[in-house]
A = this chain, B = another copy of it.
Amino acid sequence: MPVNLPLPDRQSLYPVQGIRLAVTHAGIRKANRSDMLLVSLAPQSTVAGVFTQNAFCAAPVQVCRSHLEQAKGVRAWLVNTGCANAGTGPQGLANANRSCEHLASLLALEPSQVLPFSTGVILEHLPMDRLEKGIGLLVNQLGQADWLDAAQAIMTTDTQPKAASRRLEIAGRQVTITGISKGAGMIRPNMATMLGFVATDAGLAPDLLQQLTKAVADETFNSVTIDGDTSTNDSFVTVATGESGCHFELADQGSADWQAFHQAFLGVCLELAQAIVRDGEGATKFITIEVQGARSRDEARQVAYAIGHSPLVKTAFFASDPNLGRILAAIGYSGVPDLRVEAIRVWLDQVLVAEHGGRAQTYTEQAGAAVMAQSEMTIRVDLARGNARATVYTCDLSHDYVSINADYRS
């Protein structure tokens, strides 16, 4: 059961002008489930993306990077689940390229105008016959799917589709931002998550869109962790079609219109990123970890991730057991040099847990237990050595995480 993650409401996932969607059942790995998605982008669209830093990055990620560097505008995103096409060597790369060529030939595009995305089992090859048959079906059905269909088509171990949408008026024009994401395990994105797609009908100059995408990824998809495993396939891509008539250039960044757009865009991405944690494999708690008083943002993140990755912290939260010494231990081994433990303070929501190197005088087991019993809580740490801060979102570690991952392929 995901943590406080309502099913997306089809009516509130606003269509984005300039985007057409199709989904199909190709039987890539299992029969009778949507496992392919095609997103067609209006001709004038700008596209940006950030991808996994995993050295064993998947073939489609390599192809995406290469196609984004080429001058031709990207016009289609092609997604399959069931097979990650990662750890597949030269044949994997050939298969990713072949799928782009096949789709391009049907849509009268150059292969480099297609970005391919795969998610699923690593070390196995794409079943090219089924994939190509699926591509044909997608092209025939283009425009018949909506964003909820799209969110469903990219699920793997996700228990729920993940989608978010915002609509705002900018200079008298209605601008929409809608996105989808997927992922529930192997989640500790490094540049992006295991598939996030966000579209807007605002127009953004290419450099502005790339800059926005990187900055927003850092605050959202790059600030969640479930199990500390950075995937081979993480990809977060964005498109700005411009069809709303609203357009932004780099020089517009100081404007109130840009601020409003930026906030809405960030909001969609944060909702999508948090949805991944809320639907984390086996998650029963949604935990926000705020670290302040650090010398640098990197240092704050290092401490936040040490806490967020500790199996002992995570199992204590699963048990609703305020065994909070485990948080101190994680801060202590986070690797930040010269920590002055006497100065560090730790809160659970508003409850001060630790100060002066030990348990706070005012702390009571009852107060700690009351917060632990909630389904959402914030661990706040003040390192008291600087002004930098960072926030990371994570979940607990439960029996179901083990069950899901022990049985994933079977």
Contact = CB atoms under 8 A, between A and B. Distances in A.
Interface stretch (A1-9, A11-19, A85-93, A243-251): A85-93
Contacts of A408: 321, 323
Contacts of A402: 315, 318, 397-399, 401-402
Given A55-B332, A399-B403, A402-B402, A312 B227 contact: yes
B358 A328 contact: no
A90 B228 CA distance: 35
A333 B55 contact: yes
A309 interface: yes
B358 A410 contact: no
A84 interface: yes
B229 A341 contact: no
Interface of A, helix, strand, loop or mixed by DSSP: loop
Interface in A386-410: 397-399, 401-403, 405-410
Contacts of A397: 311, 402
A122 B329 contact: yes
Interface residues of A, number: 67
A309 B91 CA distance: 30
Interface in A329-351: 329-333, 336, 339, 341-342
Given A328-B123, A402-B318, A358 B57 contact: no
Contacts of A136: none
Given A319-B407, A406-B318, A54 B121 contact: no
A167 interface: no
Contact of A329 (B56, B88, B330): B56
Given A358-B88, A398-B402, A333 B190 contact: yes
A125 to B, nearest CB: 8
Given A333-B53, A358-B123, A407-B319, A325 B230 contact: no
B358 A87 contact: yes
A63 to B, nearest CB: 14
B358 A316 contact: no
B185 A232 contact: no
Contact of A315 (B91, B123, B405): B405
Contacts of A67: none
A29 interface: no
A356 B86 contact: no
A83 to B, nearest CB: 11
A329 B230 contact: yes
Interface in A29-57: 53-57
A397 B89 CA distance: 29
Contact of A312 (B229, B312, B321, B354): B229
B53 A325 contact: no
Interface in A356-410: 356-359, 397-399, 401-403, 405-410
Nearest to A315: B405
A321 B123 CA distance: 13
Given A312-B185, A331-B55, A359 B123 contact: yes
Contact of A401 (B311, B329, B333): B311
Contacts of A331: 55-56
Given A122-B326, A333-B230, A358-B123, A55 B339 contact: yes
Given A87-B328, A358-B123, A405 B312 contact: yes
Kindly list the 3 A-B residue pairs having the minimum CB-CB distance in the complex, ordered from nearest: A122-B325, A89-B358, A56-B332
14 contacts: A56-B331, A57-B332, A87-B328, A89-B356, A123-B325, A186-B326, A229-B312, A229-B333, A231-B329, A311-B397, A318-B406, A319-B410, A321-B410, A397-B402
Given A185-B312, A227-B311, 6 more contacts: A55-B339, A56-B328, A87-B357, A122-B329, A227-B310, A319-B410
